[in-house]
Structure 1
Amino acid sequence: MTDRPTPTASDSRIRWPGGEIFVRSWVPATVAADPVVLFHDSLGAVALWRDFPGRLAQATGRRVIAYDRPGFGQSSARADVLSHGFVAEEATDIVPLLCRDLGLTRFVACGHSVGGGMAVETAAHHPDRVSALITIAAQALVEEQTRAGIRLARQAFAQPAELDRLARYHGDKARWVVDAWTETWLSPDFADWSLDAALSRVACPTLVIHGEGDEYGSVAQPERIAAATGGQLVILPGLGHVPHREAPDLVLDTIARFLAARPVA
């Protein structure tokens, strides 16, 4: 995709009231524009992005930052139950800490799955900082298709082997990670959750990527995000919930082209 040199990766930790947040950055030799902050999915972690952040930094010439949300990956453990507003709380409680400690004044918010919702909330709450928004397989509301997929996943994670696989990334936090996802999204109290209020406040250019066969959300999800933001909608045929892993070259090219049109804030 590009002949740019391989970006340099480095790790750091920042403080939050419950402990530490693990952060990894990929920095190109020459930084062309605003950095990209990645928000991971409900079972995600920095390590589960695999080589995508480094390749994204190389393809765009931008610094790329990924972090483990509190309770995930290499960040400090937590034992609380996620609130109904946990998606918005990532934008109001955690993003300011990232900005403060990482020196972020303007950045691109890019999120996968629920991380896409967090990216939307970040763009809505920090319009002076977010220069562009990218969602990948994001949910904008709770569909029965979403709940059905999560119920199947909850059954799968009842098997010790599946939980052990997740523990490779989250250690002894794996059980909390699974429950934070399944029990929150399947709670009757969460059934009316949506991004509608946040979407109405997004003012930056937006790219909405979604796999046509996404098992956790129909195409009504990205259509809702794109319609509310006036964003560019990209539906990828034959792909599911993790298009950046299923077809990384296609997703990287789509993002690189979108960002190339807006090199500065």
Structure 2
Amino acid sequence: MSSVVSVETLWIVTPHGRLFTRRWFPAGEEGSQLKPPIILFHDSLGCVELWRDFPERLCQATGHEVIAYDRLGFGQSDPHPESLPMHFIRDEAERFFAFIKSALQIDRFVAMGHSVGGAMAACCASLYPQSCVALITVSAQAFVEEQTLRGIKEAKVQFEEPGQMVRLEKYHGDKAQWVLSAWTDTWLSASFSGWTIEDTIDVIHCPLLAFHGEQDEYGSALHPMRIAGLTKALGKYLILEDCHHVPHREAPDLVLDAVGRLLETSR
């Protein structure tokens, strides 16, 4: 295991606004520059800061550079000028990740996403089949399930309680209400009810590993099963016991070990 040499923070300029980005570089890992970076896609309420120490640990455990960015409207990135479009998952892969890939001169990469970020990572793997060498999803949704809607409705009620929005404002500032609405209004919308990951992406050709918590409040084990089925020969899923919706925080050692093993076989 190496130690992290440096952390770089930068803003990537797009025609739609600036994207806050952070990079973690490994030290003492021979040939590490030849390893494809791991790109992290955050969840519906997430941002770079909410990955906490996971990117650093991921960098240390794998010897790969790790890159995380705040989507437009989230974290330290510029505000989103409008409401979230219903095709926002594919839109992220087609438009915004393209700016990240170009600005950082990324050729080969590993896509890894949490929750809705997992679907975005899958889109990137599908859109860039020659570049994406592995796909990892964590608690990702594959369709709009009643359990998913129930979890979102309960969370929406909780955020109406006094002081709860302060949690979001800590990370998103005055964009917090937009962030919450972008999540709840989109997923609870009738026009989004028929969304499926199969309709969002084409086939995936790289090795795939889908993590899912056994007690995930936002989706059943049907989600990682369907995600693993996106690629017949190379897709696997792992159900983690005693885990809810954030396995990389609840069981980081198990996640890091499995990711490391996947990347060893993906070179």
Query: What TM-score do you get using the length of structure 1 for normalisation?
Result: 0.96
How far, CA to CA, are the matches of 1:217 and 1:17 in structure 2? 35
Q: Map 1:45-64 onto structure 2 (within 5 A).
A: 45-64=47-66
1:201 match: secondary structure? coil
For residue 5 of structure 1, what is the aligned residue in structure 2?
3
Is the aligned partner of 1:81 residue 2:79? Answer: no
For residue 254 of structure 1, what is the aligned residue in structure 2?
258
Q: Judge which range, 68-77 or 153-162, deviates more.
A: 153-162
What is the Cα deviation at residue 199 of structure 1? 5.0
Residues 148-189 of structure 1: CA deviation (Å, up to 9, x unaligned): 000001111112411111111001110000000000000000
1:44 match: secondary structure? coil
1:128 match: secondary structure? coil
For residue 218 of structure 1, what is the aligned residue in structure 2?
220
Residue in structure 2 matching 1:232, options 224, 231, 236:
236
How far, CA to CA, are the matches of 1:165 and 1:81 in structure 2? 21
How far, CA to CA, are the matches of 1:105 and 1:191 in structure 2? 35
The code of the aligned residue for 2:106 comes to L
Is the aligned partner of 1:23 residue 2:21? Answer: yes
2:218 match: secondary structure? coil
**Could you tell me whether the CA contact under 8 Å between 1:27 and 1:63 is conserved in 2?**
yes
**Could you tell me whether the CA contact under 8 Å between 2:47 and 2:75 is conserved in 1?**
yes
**Could you tell me whether the CA contact under 8 Å between 1:145 and 1:217 is conserved in 2?**
yes
Residues 83-132 of structure 1: CA deviation (Å, up to 9, x unaligned): 11100000100111001101101100000000000001111111122111
Give the 4+ runs in structure 1 shifted more than 4 A. Answer: none
What is the Cα deviation at residue 38 of structure 1? 0.2
What is the Cα deviation at residue 46 of structure 1? 0.2
How many residues were matched structurally? 261
1:111 match: secondary structure? strand
Query: What TM-score do you get using the length of structure 2 for normalisation?
Result: 0.95
The code of the aligned residue for 2:250 comes to E
Residues 184-221 of structure 1: CA deviation (Å, up to 9, x unaligned): 00000000001113454111110111111110010000
How far, CA to CA, are the matches of 1:186 and 1:213 in structure 2? 22
For residue 153 of structure 2, what is the aligned residue in structure 1?
151
For residue 95 of structure 1, what is the aligned residue in structure 2?
97
What is the Cα deviation at residue 233 of structure 1? 1.1
Q: Map 1:56-205 onto structure 2 (within 5 A).
A: 56-205=58-207
Unaligned runs of 5+ in 2: none
**Could you tell me whether the CA contact under 8 Å between 1:111 and 1:118 is conserved in 2?**
yes
**Could you tell me whether the CA contact under 8 Å between 1:87 and 1:118 is conserved in 2?**
yes
What is the Cα deviation at residue 232 of structure 1? 1.5
How far, CA to CA, are the matches of 1:64 and 1:48 in structure 2? 15
Identity %: 49
1:228 match: secondary structure? coil
